[in-house]
Each structure stands twice: as structure tokens, then as C-alpha cells.
């Protein structure tokens, strides 16, 4: 068997068809400086989490060796311990033991993804979903009653939204909360099996309280979905009227106790309604500052966007773990005498291995900076000046919801793809549990469907694009969107989107006039952005034309939407890809001249060109990429991979994954804790 040896120098690989880049000098990466850049304003927060992860590294072994029941208790204990350090409560008000900083909370949560992901998800359920619902949907009464205890981990809770028969269609939930004016109580009922709460984290073993989403009925009139605080256990005993069932073994995350909930006439006081957006008076009058029920519903859900932002960040950080392991392995593992009869070649010196891993490193950096943007927007919307005040910028909230949805979709799909590629790149060694890929694959797989199925989320992105977050936004389901778009001229739809103006301005910066796509340099960021913006604008226009044509022909709006749904998803994905590249280009441009900027520009170019290459069939179909230029892009990507190759280990080390979280001692060639 080939042996694992210390990192080798890059072997010379002849590539006579690619001209040498005269004047290019390989940059040196200052790992600490790059890590500081990646950690941003929250480096101390991230380092606190890293230290706690290292301290409890044994949990990675416990996950393999303990029974499910014992591991659930172990995970709970670690979560409660972390609550004592303050790292899980950073987004809550200081008055209740929190840190008062939503941005810090997002940074801390994302960093947890370097460790055991059952811990991450249980933290997300307890503090993000359960705690976030009470914070954002409740008022001072609920905050005083619950926040201090849940922030400290003294009260465990769950977030009971999803139902077996309704899934992502939250407006159609079946659970009912009927107001009994005589008793001044709400009666919570599960009317049928499709309305049972399902997949609810913390429900099967640990939660004492549940935030239950149910259809509110007052005096025979329905008022839509509202949230209620409902006790489900006391001293470990399931309360009368509540039925709980364990969901059983899962593909992963078996340290999280997912369960199903039924309610049989469970009574809770009138104060159990989380009344930030609606109130029921003692005598049974329904009051809300938001008259439109759809707007009220979307406003309520919009306050819970933090969970979506956090899941996207967690997926991106899980990909960093996989890439750190696979890249380090690739500079130690040798295979075949490719360029020397006396020595086998290091894996990462093979062009195909570079092609497999290095574009994924580049995309991870791009998504990291895109996630940084959306986290900053979240912080500004909920913690910035004027946040929470009447009349605060609703448009900014809608833009945030859309950007969070798109970034979450791309980030979690990236995690799934990256972890699989890295597992394969480590061969048989990657299949061993101690090398982390088994847990990473199993535990992140659900990220693509929880906090919103990715395809459903991209439909939300598309709705914002096609309607430009119009005043009617909240009233539009997908059929309403189809009717709205069909009522406008296609040119109006396109011109209302920001990308239309961006395309025009970028074209002015490029040579060649109408032939800008042939004349501009491949490494010109304006060319790269123009290509992504052109694709996005063309796809938005295509969706609008198809919707309009179908409805003008008298087709049912639902049938029209179903026929163009693939185009809707493609447009939303193209939009988000453009935002990701813009975030990377902007971050690199802000850096002072020097080696760090050179290194990031290499990665940015690699990410941009591989994004274009991945969709080159579309560009060629639409006349924006000739076969000659397409081949030139592929050659440039190969050249960029060779330039990034000597920097690869430094680039992944800058992610800052604690050594204890990598495990993989034999695979990486050193025992954990040694000086080697």
C-alpha cells in the first residue's frame, strides 16, 4: 500500500498549451491574517466556541459508541454546559442573561458546525427556534416568564410547527386553538392524523414546553395560524391530553430527540398566545395591528428568519471540516509513479484531484462571504437603529428573507456535494467513522430540507424577484404571483429588478460593445459579474414571458406555474449565484494590496469561472459563450488550480477548524496532540 508522508513539493506538470503568466509571483498566505479576515468582527466569539468544542471533543467518539438514549442525554448535558458559558444566548436581551447581539449569535452557531452536529441542532432547536419564537413572537409577559430559564438551559423546549400532512405549507396547518371565553382559555386540538406535529426536535425526551403553531378560532371565526406556549411535560411526566411518540432512528443526528405530538383538548390560559402581532381580549375580541391576515402571517414568519440564516452558515462550515481533512490528506498521500520512477506522486499534484477539491475551496470562501452579508443584514434588521419600531423598513425585511432563503439553499447543497466529494477523495480511509465523513454526511443531509426545503425556498426568492417585493407581496401565493406577473409587460418585470440596471452599468465598463462577452478578459471581475447578471436577467424575463403567455392563452394559473416551475427555480438560483459572486468580488476589492489580496483574487477567479463553466451549455445556447472561449475558460481554470495548489493547506487551515475536531489521526498522519 502507498504510504502517507509529509507534505511534498509540487511536481512539475507540463502544460504547453497554456501560456506562462509572466510577472506572476506566488503569494504567501499569512494563515492568522486570513483567519482574522474570515472570523470578522466576531473572532473572540468564534474562538470561545472553538475552545469549548476542543474541550468536549470526546463527544465525537461518544456518538459512535453510546446507545441512542445515552447519547441524547450526553448531547443535552453539553448543550446545558454551553449555555453556562454564554455562547448560546448571545442573541437574547442582556436583561435575561443574553448578549444582546444577534450577529454574535449567528457567528457562534455557525462555528458549532465544526463539532458534533447533534449538539449544533439541539442548540438550534432550544435557543434558535423555541427561544427565538418566544423572543420574536411574544411580549414582555412571555419574556419575563420564560427567557431567563431557557437561555440558561433550565427550561427545555421545542418548536412545534411542522405537521405530517402539511409540511412546508404552514398556512394550511391543521392543529386548532379554539378560544373558550367563559374559561378565558385556548383549547389545543389535533383533529386528525395529518395534523399531528412531526419531526419536532427536543419533543421525544426533553422538552417541557412547546411553541405550538395552530389555527386560531374565536367565536367560530378563523384568524389563521398563531403560536402558543403549551406545557407538554412536568418533572419528566407527559401531561394529560398530550401524546408523544419518538420518531425513531434517523439517518443521522441521533443525539436529537425528534418526536411527534398530538393534543386532545389541551387547555392553556389566554396569556399563552404569543401576542406580538395579535391579541384576544378576555371577552373574545380578536385584535391585531396588522389588518391583512396574509401580511400578518408573513410578518410573523419573517421574524423567525434567523434559523434559516443559521442553517445556511452551519452547512458552509461543515463543508470547511470536510475540505480541511481532504486537502491535508491530499498533500500527504502518494499514489502511482506519475512523474518520477523513484517516488509516487502526491494526490494534490494530480490535475484531476486539484479540479475536484480546489474549486470547492473557492466556492466555500465565496459562500462564507455571502453568508457574512446575510448575517449582517439580519443583525441590522433586528438589532440596528430603529429595529422593531413601527414603520421599520418592511422592504429590507423582505429582501433579507429572500437572501436568507437563497443563501441557505446554496450553502446546504454545497455542504452535501462537498462532503461527498471529499469522502471520495480520501478513498477507503474516508469511509472510516473516525475520519468524520460518516457523521458529516449523515448529520448534514437533512440541512437541505429543514428550515425550508431548498426548492421551496428558491420559489420564495423567485417571487421576490418577479414582483420586486410589491405591496401585494404578502397576498400572493404562487398562483397569485403568476397572475400578478402576467398582468405586467415583460419589460416591466425585468426593469423592476435590480439586475437589469446592473447589467447595463457593467456593460459600460467592458470593452467590445455588444461583443463584451468575447472581448473582455476572463479574469476581469466585471466580465465575470456581467455573465452571471446576463444569465439572471434573461432567466427572469423568460419566466415572465412563459407565465404571461400561458395565462393570456386562458390556461389555469396553477397549471401555468407548474409548467414553468423549473424555470422559476433556475432564475432564483442564478440570482443567488450572482449575489454570492458579488460578495466575494467586493470582499477581495476591499483588501489592501498584498499577498492576501492576490490569494483571494485567485480563489475569486476560480469560483467565478467554474460557476460559468458549470452552466456553459446554457451560455452557449443563448449566444454568450463560443466554443473557443468555453475551452479557454476550462484551460484558465486548470491554470488557476495550479496556482492555488501551493496555497491549499494554508487556505483550509485559515478556516480555523480545531485540530481536535478533525480526528482522522491516521489519515492525516499524526496523533492528536503531538507536535508533528
Residues facing 346 on adjacent strands? 334
What pLDDT is stored for residue 112 in this prediction? 96
Closest CA to 581 of 636, 507, 512, 502: 502
What pLDDT is stored for residue 294 in this prediction? 82
- CA dist 434 and 432 (Å) reads 6
Q: Where are the domains of the chain?
A: 24-155, 157-289, 302-511+519-660
What pLDDT is stored for residue 16 in this prediction? 37
Pairing of strands 286-287, 237-238: unpaired
How far CA 205 is from CA of 310, 447, 646, in Å, comes to 24, 22, 49
Fold of 157-289: Butyryl-CoA Dehydrogenase, subunit A; domain 2 (2.40.110)
Q: In this structure, are residues 3 and 335 in contact, taking their beta carbons and an 8 Å threshold?
A: no
What pLDDT is stored for residue 671 in this prediction? 39
CATH number, span 302-511+519-660: 1.20.140.10
Write out pLDDT tens, residues 85-122: 888 999 999 999 999 999 999 999 999 999 999 999 99
Write out pLDDT tens, residues 340-361: 667 777 888 888 989 999 999 9
What pLDDT is stored for residue 383 in this prediction? 77
What pLDDT is stored for residue 301 in this prediction? 82
What pLDDT is stored for residue 508 in this prediction? 65
Closest CA to 211 of 87, 117, 300: 300
DSSP string covering 112-134, please?
HTTS-HHHHHHHIIIIIIIHHHH
Domain 24-155: which CATH number of 3.30.499.10, 3.40.50.360, 1.10.540.10, 3.40.50.1370: 1.10.540.10
What pLDDT is stored for residue 666 in this prediction? 66
List the chain residues with pLDDT less than 50: 1-19, 670-676
DSSP string covering 242-271, please?
EEEEE----SS-TTS--EEEEESSEEEEGG
pTM of the predicted structure, to 2 decimals: 0.91
Residue recorded with cell 470526546: 58
Other CB atoms closer than 10 Å to residue 111's CB: what's the count?
Answer: 27
Other CB atoms closer than 10 Å to residue 128's CB: what's the count?
Answer: 25
Q: In this structure, are residues 147 and 135 in contact, taking their beta carbons and an 8 Å threshold?
A: yes
663: exposed, middle or buried (C-beta count within 10 Å: 0-12, 13-18, 19+)?
buried
What pLDDT is stored for residue 466 in this prediction? 83
What pLDDT is stored for residue 33 in this prediction? 97
How far CA 384 is from CA of 134, 377, 418, 454, in Å, comes to 20, 9, 35, 28
Residue recorded with cell 453539553: 78
- CA dist 277 and 142 (Å) reads 14
Other CB atoms closer than 10 Å to residue 340's CB: what's the count?
Answer: 9
Count Cα neighbours of 265 within 13 Å in the Cβ-side half-sphere.
Answer: 1
Residues facing 266 on adjacent strands? 188
What pLDDT is stored for residue 600 in this prediction? 97
What pLDDT is stored for residue 250 in this prediction? 94
How far CA 674 is from CA of 46, 510, 670, 671, in Å, comes to 24, 53, 7, 6
Amino acid at each position: 500500500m502507498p504510504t502517507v508522508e509529509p507534505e511534498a513539493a509540487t511536481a512539475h506538470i507540463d502544460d504547453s498549451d497554456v501560456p506562462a503568466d509572466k510577472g506572476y509571483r506566488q503569494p504567501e498566505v499569512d494563515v492568522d491574517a486570513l483567519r482574522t479576515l474570515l472570523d470578522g468582527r466576531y473572532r473572540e466569539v468564534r474562538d470561545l466556541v472553538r475552545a469549548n468544542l476542543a474541550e468536549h471533543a470526546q463527544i465525537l467518539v461518544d456518538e459512535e459508541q453510546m446507545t441512542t438514549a445515552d447519547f441524547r442525554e450526553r448531547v443535552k448535558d453539553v448543550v446545558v454546559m454551553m449555555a453556562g458559558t454564554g455562547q448560546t444566548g448571545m442573541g437574547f436581551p442582556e436583561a435575561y442573561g443574553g448578549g444582546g447581539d444577534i450577529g454574535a449569535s449567528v457567528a457562534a452557531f455557525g462555528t458549532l458546525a465544526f463539532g458534533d452536529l447533534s449538539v449544533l441542532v439541539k442548540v438550534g432547536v432550544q435557543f434558535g427556534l423555541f427561544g427565538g419564537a418566544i423572543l420574536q413572537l411574544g411580549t414582555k409577559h412571555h419574556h419575563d416568564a420564560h427567557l431567563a430559564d431557557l437561555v440558561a438551559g433550565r427550561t427545555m423546549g421545542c418548536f412545534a410547527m411542522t405537521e405530517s400532512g402539511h409540511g412546508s405549507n404552514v398556512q394550511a396547518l391543521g392543529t386548532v386553538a379554539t378560544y373558550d371565553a367563559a374559561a378565558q382559555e385556548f383549547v389545543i386540538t389535533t383533529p386528525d392524523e395529518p395534523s399531528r406535529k412531526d419531526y419536532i426536535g427536543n419533543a421525544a425526551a426533553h422538552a417541557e414546553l412547546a411553541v405550538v403553531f395552530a389555527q386560531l378560532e374565536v367565536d367560530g371565526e378563523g384568524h389563521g395560524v398563531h403560536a402558543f406556549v403549551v406545557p407538554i411535560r412536568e418533572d419528566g411526566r407527559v401531561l394529560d391530553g398530550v401524546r408523544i411518540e419518538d420518531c425513531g432512528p434517523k439517518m443521522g443526528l441521533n443525539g436529537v430527540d425528534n418526536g411527534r405530538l398530538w393534543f386532545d383538548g389541551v387547555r392553556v390560559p389566554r396569556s399563552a398566545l404569543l401576542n406580538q402581532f395579535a391579541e384576544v381580549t378576555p371577552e373574545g375580541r380578536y385584535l391585531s395591528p396588522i389588518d391583512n391576515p396574509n401580511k400578518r402571517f408573513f410578518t410573523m414568519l419573517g421574524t423567525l428568519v434567523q434559523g434559516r440564516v443559521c442553517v445556511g452558515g452551519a452547512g458552509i462550515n461543515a463543508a470547511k471540516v470536510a475540505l480541511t481533512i481532504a486537502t491535508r490528506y491530499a498533500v500527504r498521500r502518494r499514489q502511482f509513479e506519475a512523474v518520477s520512477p523513484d517516488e509516487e506522486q502526491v494526490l494534490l499534484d494530480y490535475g484531476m484531484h486539484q479540479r475536484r477539491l480546489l474549486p470547492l475551496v473557492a466556492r466555500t470562501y465565496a459562500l462564507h462571504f455571502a453568508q457574512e452579508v446575510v448575517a449582517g443584514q439580519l443583525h441590522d434588521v433586528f438589532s440596528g437603529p430603529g429595529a422593531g419600531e413601527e414603520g421599520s423598513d418592511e422592504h429590507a425585511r423582505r429582501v433579507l428573507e429572500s437572501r436568507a432563503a437563497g443563501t441557505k439553499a446554496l450553502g446546504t447543497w454545497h455542504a452535501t456535494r462537498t462532503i461527498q466529494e471529499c469522502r471520495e477523495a480520501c478513498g477507503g480511509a474516508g469511509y472510516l467513522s473516525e475520519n468524520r465523513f460518516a457523521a458529516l454526511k449523515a448529520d448534514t443531509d437533512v440541512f437541505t430540507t429543514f428550515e425550508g426545503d431548498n426548492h421551496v425556498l428558491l420559489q420564495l426568492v423567485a417571487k421576490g424577484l418577479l414582483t420586486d417585493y410589491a405591496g401585494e407581496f404578502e397576498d400572493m401565493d404562487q398562483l397569485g404571483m403568476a397572475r400578478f406577473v402576467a398582468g405586467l409587460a415583460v419589460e416591466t418585470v425585468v426593469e423592476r429588478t435590480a439586475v437589469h440596471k446592473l447589467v447595463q452599468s457593467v456593460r459600460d465598463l467592458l470593452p467590445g460593445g455588444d461583443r463584451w462577452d468575447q472581448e473582455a478578459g476572463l479574469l476581469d471581475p466585471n466580465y465575470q459579474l456581467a455573465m452571471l447578471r446576463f444569465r439572471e436577467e434573461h432567466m427572469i424575463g423568460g419566466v415572465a414571458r412563459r407565465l404571461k403567455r400561458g395565462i393570456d392563452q386562458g390556461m389555469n394559473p396553477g397549471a401555468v406555474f407548474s409548467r414553468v416551475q423549473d424555470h422559476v427555480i433556475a432564475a432564483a438560483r442564478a440570482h443567488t449565484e450572482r449575489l454570492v459572486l458579488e460578495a466575494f468580488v467586493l470582499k477581495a476589492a476591499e483588501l489592501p494590496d498584498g499577498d492576501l489580496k492576490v490569494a483571494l483574487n485567485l480563489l475569486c477567479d476560480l469560483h467565478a469561472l467554474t460557476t460559468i463553466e458549470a452552466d456553459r451549455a446554457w451560455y452557449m445556447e443563448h449566444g454568450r459563450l463560443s466554443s473557443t472561449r468555453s475551452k479557454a475558460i476550462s484551460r484558465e481554470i486548470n491554470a488557476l488550480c495550479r496556482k492555488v495548489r501551493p496555497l491549499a493547506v494554508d487556505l483550509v487551515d485559515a478556516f480555523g477548524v480545531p485540530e481536535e475536531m478533525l480526528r482522522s489521526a491516521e489519515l492525516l498522519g499524526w496523533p492528536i496532540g503531538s507536535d508533528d
